[in-house]
Amino acid sequence: MSNFEKSKFISKLCIILEILIPCVAIFFILDVPLMLFKISLFNQQFLAVFWSLVLALTFITIPISKKCPKNDPKWYDFVLAMLALIVGLYAAIFYLY
C-alpha cells in the first residue's frame, strides 16, 4: 500500500469515526432502540460505545510522541484502536451479565 493510499484510508477511517460519534449520541438521546425494538439501553451502555469510538479515534489521529509523523499511525495504533472498539462494544453488549 503506497503512502497516498494509506493516507486516504486513514482519512476515510477518521471521517467514519467522526460521523459515528454524534450519530451514536443522537441514536441514544432519541431512544431509538426503545421505539424500534422495545429495548431500553442504560446510560452506561451508551458511554461504553461513545468511549470506545472516541478512544479509537484518538489512537488513530494523535501520534504517540512528537517525533512521530501525525498522518502516519503505526501498526500498534490500529491494534489499540481495535482493542478499544472491542472492549467498548463488549461492555455495552454484556453490561447486565
Q: What is the rounded distance in angstroms from the CA atom of residue 34 to the CA atom of residue 22?
A: 19
Hey, what amino acid is at 30? Answer: L
Taking the model in full, what pTM does it have?
0.84
Helix, strand, coil tally for the chain in percent (to 5): 75, 0, 25
Model confidence at 97, pLDDT cuts 50, 70, 90, reads confident
Instruction: Determine the average pLDDT of the residues in 60-72.
Output: 80
Mean pLDDT of the chain, nearest integer = 88
Q: Would the pLDDT of 48 be above 80?
A: yes
> Which of 97, 88, 83 minimizes the C-alpha distance to 45?
88
